Structure 1
Amino acid sequence: MTRGGWTEQRNSESDALLSALGSKYSAEILCAAGTPKSAQALSEDIEVPIATCYRRIEELVDAGLLECEGRKLSNEGRRTNIYRRTLDEIEVDFSSERPQFSQKRRTEAKNRLQDRLR
């Protein structure tokens, strides 16, 4: 369901969102992933161990909050995945029997504009 640019989630999707957001470092990773970044860059930016960062990235991708935007060569010459968050805002409503989530998705136009400004 959509209202004013916000997309509401179903129960199973809401459970995945709540689980992913409840993990330590998830919010920090989402904040840092406003621009495309590798797991290594995210790990360094928020000062979290790389193994933990990879686990959180997997949870966030599974919940649809983060996506792999492509691959690029690292400074060491290895192919590495580049991630960016899929939303800018999320709203949680606890007034019902189950939490209800609404999220404001990032548009491709916003991503392209942000990439040009970097």
Structure 2
Amino acid sequence: MSEDTPSGEVYALLDDEYARRILTSTNTTTKSAKELSEECDASLPTVYRRVERLIDCGLLEERTKLEDNGHHHSVYKARLKRLTVELENDELKLTIEEQTDESMADRFTAIWDEL
């Protein structure tokens, strides 16, 4: 989660059914906006709005997928591994643990191998 992101914004986003579906759908594999639209039974504009908000909050990342024909498109992957809400000193404290399944070097190698 970005340090600048207010906890209330994350709470509101996670209250949204489409945002939750996008996160759960991209937990183990990357998905395109079209795939997310079909899986979430949502319009593409709805998916893109939620994706943008999830990225802004640091819960989702955008990656570029290269096709065999040289074209590319965006795919999305959840960054959220664990979300914890604690009550400390009469205040709710939100802690987000990000997934660390792939390093930048691993991603670069995967992209290079696809070329």
Asked whether the two chains share a fold, i.e. TM above 0.5, the reply is: yes
Gaps of 5+ in 1: 1-6, 113-118
* Percent sequence identity over aligned pairs: 28
| Pairwise CA RMSD | 3.1
C-alpha distance after superposition, 1:76-109 (max 9, x if no partner): x863211100022212235655432112211134
Residue pair 1:72, 1:82 contacting (<8 A) in 2 also: no
- 1:10-61 deviations in whole A, cap 9, x for unaligned? 5744233223223341111100011111111111112111110110000000
In structure 2, the CA distance between the partners of 1:47 and 1:96, relative to structure 1 (3 Å rule), is: farther
Match of 1:71 in 2: 65
- Tell me how far apart the structure 1 counterparts of residues 65 and 6 of structure 2 sit (CA, whole Å): 27
The reply to whether residue 86 of structure 1 matches residue 79 of structure 2 is yes
The one-letter code matched in structure 1 to 2:9 is: A
The structure 2 residue matched to 1:17, chosen from 10, 35, 60, is 10
Higher relative contact order by CA 8 Å / sep ≥ 6: 1 or 2?
Answer: 1
Report the counterpart of residue 36 of structure 1 in structure 2: 30
1:29 touches 1:42 (CA, 8 Å); kept in 2? yes
Runs of at least 5 residues in structure 2 that lack an aligned partner in the other structure: 107-115
After superposition, the Cα gap between the structure-2 partners of 1:14 and 1:39, relative to the gap in structure 1 and judged at 3 Å, is: same
Q: Distance in 1 between matches of 2:13 and 2:32?
A: 19
AA aligned to 2:64 is G
Q: Which amino acid aligns with 1:108?
A: D
Partner of 1:50: 44
Matched residue SS, 2:21: helix
The count of corresponding residues between Structure 1 and Structure 2 is 103
Normalized against structure 2, the TM-score is what? Answer: 0.70
Structure 1 residues 22 and 37, CA, compared in 2 at 3 Å: closer, same or farther?
same
